[in-house]
Amino acid sequence: MHSAAVLWPPHPRITPLKPRSRLLNPLLLCRGKPSLVLQFRPPLKILLLAASSKSPSPPVSSDSDQQPQRADAEISSDVQKENQSLDLGWLPAFPHVLTASMANFLFGYHIGVMNGPIEAIAHELGFEGNSFLEGLVVSIFIAGAFIGSLSIASLVDKFGSRRTFQLGTMPLILGALLSAQAHNLVEMLWGRFLVGLGIGANTVLVPLYISEVSPTKYRGSLGTLCQIGTCLGIIASLALGIPSESDSHWWRTMFYIACTPGFILAFGMQFAVESPRWLYNVGRVDEAKKVIGTIWGESEVEKSIVEIQNVIKDDVNSQKTSWLELFKEPHKKVVFIGGSLFILQQFAGINGVLYFSSLTFQDVGITSSALTSLYVGLTNLTGALSALALMDKQGRRRLLIGSYLGMALSMFLIVYAISGPLDEESSHMLSILGTLLYIFTFALGAGPVTGIIIPELSSAQTRSKVMGFSFSIHWNVGNY
């Protein structure tokens, strides 16, 4: 049986909107113009026409029918929101940034490579028991890094980031090979100096390169790969150093292994993109547009080219900026901030905490150097990963402030553990907590933010010199 329902009257009555109607029906307001409202009279009669003896079919639309439809609509909406929240704008630049961060992995590796085998090296090369020469083998690495950080500015301005990475990797590989094959103190010193030269150059170049190839939205997060690479390098060197406790010649193998990341970095940079700012600055505009389209998206090409063009025009008078002019307006403020951040970073005491953390763990009965290094390395890595997630959400300034406040609190816990009215077990546990909290909070802000914020504050033409000067302070002040 088919049925039909007819509403009467068939046509609405159109009447002008009265003031009372506006109050009763505010959704129909139309400012500044007369409005019309459609009013339907209630049906006076519903005519049901019987066409057959079958039972009436169910209503066309009912609540039970609409519920699955609403559920499907809600699921579809959730899927759309999830797809929108899945932001992969960082992915095109990630392989290039990851390749550059291999330089920081080498930095961390060469920091830890001398931690365990130094006594075996001294014994085999004939300066065992001479603390001055042992310290010289370690510290000459820092002297090379100091020189390398100052020499990088002229190279990157002339050859670009990719070629400079490859040039900076050459002393890293040669230094590691010379150290591995050293038969006397002089060869070991030259090997360590060459390694430091390459480390100083590349650690300046990494944050500079990341700041110029990363999309602005993800620059902070991608920049934390520097700190993560350093942490992984330290953990790798400490883990590989465990066999040196039983094999007095294992240190040579460790230096041979250090050549592998160097080759990966040099080879990977052959396929990495060049800095679009450098390409535009040297007149290779088409290549700059191609790079921007590859790593930032085609929609960003024209806008980014205009921004780069404006920056270069603003800095046209600074194209021949000398080192002395960095200490004059308008550059001296950025130089002061960069130098101050690195001074604060080192004077905060991170090196002392890392070097003497093993003594703190020994006080609580953890005598294994490998286990101690594992605790420290994992804590450092956890802080760096947390910075990766928070950098672009919380901002550089907030992370820096929180990091230094956290380090201050950690130092207070350590002092209170030593001098407070606590029993021995509580004192030891609080010392461990303070030490690990200090390392975590350092890796959360003071470690990664310092290298990221300087190129963001510097002009295009002075960025490499400001970075070189700031890192030279890092090597010169913080490690002596």
* Structural tokens at position 447: 């470690």
Q: What percent of the chain has pLDDT over 70?
A: 75
Is omega for the bond preceding 9 within 30 degrees of 0, making it cis? yes
State residue 479's pLDDT score. Answer: 53
Give the Å distances, CA to CA, from 283 to 211, 287, 303, 307, 312.
20, 9, 18, 15, 12
Rg value, the chain, Cα? 33
State residue 424's pLDDT score. Answer: 81
Under a CB-based contact definition with an 8 Å cutoff, are residues 168 and 160 in contact?
no
70, pLDDT greater than 70: no
pLDDT top residue among 9 and 265: 265
168, pLDDT greater than 70: yes
Which residues contact residue 338 at a Cβ distance below 8 angstroms, ignoring those fewer than 6 apart?
454, 457, 458, 466, 467, 469, 470, 473
- At 437, is the pLDDT very low, low, confident or very high (cuts 50, 70, 90)? very high
Identify which of 88, 126, 109 has the alpha carbon closest to the alpha carbon of residue 176. 109
Under a CB-based contact definition with an 8 Å cutoff, are residues 310 and 443 in contact?
no
Strand partners, 14: 38
Strand partners, 13: 39
> 37: how many CB neighbours lie within 10 A of its CB?
15
Under a CB-based contact definition with an 8 Å cutoff, are residues 126 and 176 in contact?
no
96, pLDDT greater than 90: yes
State residue 407's pLDDT score. Answer: 92
Under a CB-based contact definition with an 8 Å cutoff, are residues 120 and 248 in contact?
yes
Report the amino acid identity of residue 264.
Answer: I
State residue 314's pLDDT score. Answer: 58
The DSSP code sequence of 301-341 is HHHHHHHHHHHHHHTGGGTT--SGGGGSTTTHHHHHHHHHH
Rounded-to-integer distance, Cα 127 and Cα 380, Å? 33
Ordered by start, the domain boundaries in the chain are 1-53, 91-318+326-478
pLDDT top residue among 441 and 66: 441
State residue 191's pLDDT score. Answer: 95
* Structural tokens at position 341: 């951040």
178, pLDDT greater than 90: yes
Q: For 193-229, give the secondary structure using H, E and C.
A: HHHHHHHHHHHHHHHHHHHHHCCHHHHHHHHCHHHHH
Tell me the three state secondary structure of residue 50. Answer: coil
Rounded-to-integer distance, Cα 239 and Cα 12, Å? 84
Average pLDDT, the chain: 77
* Structural tokens at position 472: 């030279």
With tokens 């130094």, the residue in question is: 118
Identify which of 168, 167, 176 has the alpha carbon closest to the alpha carbon of residue 195. 176
Under a CB-based contact definition with an 8 Å cutoff, are residues 141 and 192 in contact?
yes
- At 125, is the pLDDT very low, low, confident or very high (cuts 50, 70, 90)? very high
The pLDDT tens digits of the residues spanning 182-221 come to 999 999 999 999 999 999 898 889 988 988 898 888 888 8
**Residue 451 burial by Cβ neighbours in a 10 Å radius (0-12, 13-18, 19+):** buried
Identify which of 21, 42, 43, 41 has the alpha carbon closest to the alpha carbon of residue 30. 21
The pLDDT tens digits of the residues spanning 336-377 come to 888 888 888 878 777 667 666 666 777 777 766 667 777 888
Rounded-to-integer distance, Cα 267 and Cα 406, Å? 40
Give CATH for domain 91-318+326-478.
1.20.1250.20
* Model-wide pTM > 0.85: no
The mean per-residue pLDDT over the stretch 226-250 comes to: 84
The mean per-residue pLDDT over the stretch 224-238 comes to: 86
Rounded-to-integer distance, Cα 387 and Cα 349, Å? 20
Identify which of 289, 282, 321, 325 has the alpha carbon closest to the alpha carbon of residue 307. 289
- At 165, is the pLDDT very low, low, confident or very high (cuts 50, 70, 90)? very high
State residue 40's pLDDT score. Answer: 40
Is omega for the bond preceding 26 within 30 degrees of 0, making it cis? no
